[in-house]
Structure 1
Amino acid sequence: MDIITKYNTQDRLLVAVDCIIFGFDGHQLKALLVKRNIDPDRGKWSLMGGFVHQDESTDEAAQRVLHHLTGLQTTYMEQLYCFSNVDRDPASRVVSIAYFALINIKDYQERIHDEHEARWFPLDQIPDLVFDHTEMLRKAKERLQQKVANQPIGFELLPGKFTLPQLQNLYEAIYETPLDKRNFTRKILSLDILNKLEEKEKESSRKGAFYYVFDRDKFSRLHQEGVKFI
């Protein structure tokens, strides 16, 4: 049997990508969900996804899906896991490659939000999701908690300039636990990866809190030395 004949006799299946999109509103970590507009499970909440085209990789497909829903071209995204249970999609045999992305909610385009009946849900208020999307979301949250301990990907969820209380709020939201303010501030500042600005945020308190920006060059040097981030 030649190779072409062998290929032609193999089973065919569909390959999809599903995107778990996280955002942070300053207090809560949220996931972006859409209302499913096709059968099966029309009208139920779902992750945003789509099938992989013949002329694109799964990474390219995931970026296309992300841009279609958020209007954003560049953001943090990584492949999470392959979901391949035989009966995961009742409509057909579909293997899904899940990705998770981190975006700044303020960059998100509300126009696209309306077009797709999309909505941000706090992670403790996630509704019932179609297929195995609840499991996808759970794995994505676990991966995020693991990675922020060693890599500064959490900054992708913040605006370009932020205060130390805002940064602490983010990590408390990710780990779902309160952190000691004094210890957190001492640890973060000891890493010397933040540059302090002269500008203050004064909406939260009369005294105000200084803004900081993340210095990627300083972190790169720190990372090469093997220093743990958080």
Structure 2
Amino acid sequence: MNSYDPGAYPPFAVTVDLAVLTIRDGAFCLLLVERGGEPYAGSWALPGGFVGIDEEAGSAARRELVEETGIALSSAHLEQLATYSDPGRDPRMRVVSVAYVALVPYPGEPEGGSDAADARWWALDDLDEVEFAFDHRVIVNDAVERVRGKIEYTDVALRLMRAEFTLGELRRAYEAIWGEAIEAANFRRKILAAESFVTEVPGALADTGARPARLYKAGSARLLHPPFRRSGVT
């Protein structure tokens, strides 16, 4: 059997990056950290870092998020987005990143830690002023489109809601994610027509400042059928 010589291979590393999304004050928002060291010191990046030699990628993602921002994913929706492997994406060495999307309902304020100089929520509408590190702008675009597409036919939007919510609150979540207004009566009709997508909470009403609104909770269905499409999507 031939001996294995690690020195015969170039340096190679695996990292994780997290696109953590939420809705704050009616805006669809992304969690970013300010890099405290090179490369890209002072630029903004997705939370993440190197996967340990004895660590699984998902575990590394959760660990790095807590270390860099103080935000935990205990009640969050987490799914793998894609793998990013452009040979020039990191100036230090050959680095492949496994990216994740996380949806966090009603998170607190982040606090920069570890190698992050700062951490904050950014409204998606403000991202044009952000100087991104690495290829993180590409990852963000992919993550946002993943969520925008999946709320058309899955229960992903419900992962951003409280345990009990009004249909108006759910509609405003869709509007924030899609960046477009939705006609209220049409939204109500389509959501309630989907079997087991949401369930009314008997006898519960929300004080909305006008007339009381019925409260709902997530139903047993993981798919929204028929789908509720964005404008211009067929």
If the length of structure 2 is used for normalisation, what is the TM-score? Answer: 0.85
Spell out, residue by residue over 1:47-101, the C-alpha distance to the aligned partner (whole angstroms, 9 max, x if none): 1011001111212212222343313334211111111111111222211111110
The 5 Å alignment of 1:131-142 reads 131-142=134-145
State the 1:109 CA deviation. Answer: 4.0
Residue identity in the other structure for 2:212 = G
C-alpha distance in 2 between matches for 1:75 and 1:135: 23
Describe the shift of the 1:56–1:123 C-alpha distance in structure 2 as closer, same or farther (beyond 3 A): same
SS at match of 1:113: coil
Describe the shift of the 1:147–1:34 C-alpha distance in structure 2 as closer, same or farther (beyond 3 A): same
Tell me if structure 1 keeps the 8 A contact 2:62–2:72.
no
The 5 Å alignment of 1:138-217 reads 138-192=141-195, 193-197=197-201, 198-202=203-207, 204-216=208-220
Aligned match of 1:12: 11
C-alpha distance in 2 between matches for 1:145 and 1:85: 25
Tell me if structure 1 keeps the 8 A contact 2:21–2:30.
yes
Tell me if structure 1 keeps the 8 A contact 2:75–2:104.
no
Aligned match of 1:58: 57
Spell out, residue by residue over 1:33-54, the C-alpha distance to the aligned partner (whole angstroms, 9 max, x if none): 1111111221221110110011
State the 1:26 CA deviation. Answer: 5.2
Residue identity in the other structure for 2:160 = L
2:97 maps to 1:96: yes
State the 1:120 CA deviation. Answer: 0.8
SS at match of 1:162: coil
Spell out, residue by residue over 1:156-176, the C-alpha distance to the aligned partner (whole angstroms, 9 max, x if none): 111111111110011112222
Q: Tell me the percent identity.
A: 31
Tell me if structure 2 keeps the 8 A contact 1:63–1:73.
no
C-alpha distance in 1 between matches for 2:44 and 2:188: 38
Identify which range, 37-46 or 161-170, moves more after superposition: 37-46
C-alpha distance in 2 between matches for 1:32 and 1:114: 11
Tell me if structure 2 keeps the 8 A contact 1:26–1:169.
no
Aligned match of 1:49: 48
C-alpha distance in 2 between matches for 1:161 and 1:196: 9
Describe the shift of the 1:143–1:155 C-alpha distance in structure 2 as closer, same or farther (beyond 3 A): same
Aligned match of 2:231: none
Tell me the number of residue pairs that the alignment of Structure 1 and Structure 2 aligns: 219
Tell me if structure 1 keeps the 8 A contact 2:11–2:93.
no
C-alpha distance in 1 between matches for 2:7 and 2:204: 65
Identify which range, 4-13 or 149-158, moves more after superposition: 4-13
Tell me if structure 1 keeps the 8 A contact 2:16–2:100.
yes
Spell out, residue by residue over 1:172-226, the C-alpha distance to the aligned partner (whole angstroms, 9 max, x if none): 1222211111111001111243222333322x4321322211122xx15xx5xx9
Describe the shift of the 1:86–1:10 C-alpha distance in structure 2 as closer, same or farther (beyond 3 A): same
2:41 maps to 1:38: no
SS at match of 1:55: coil
Residue identity in the other structure for 1:191 = A
More helix by share: 1
Which consecutive residues of structure 1, in runs of 5 or more, have no partner in the other structure? none
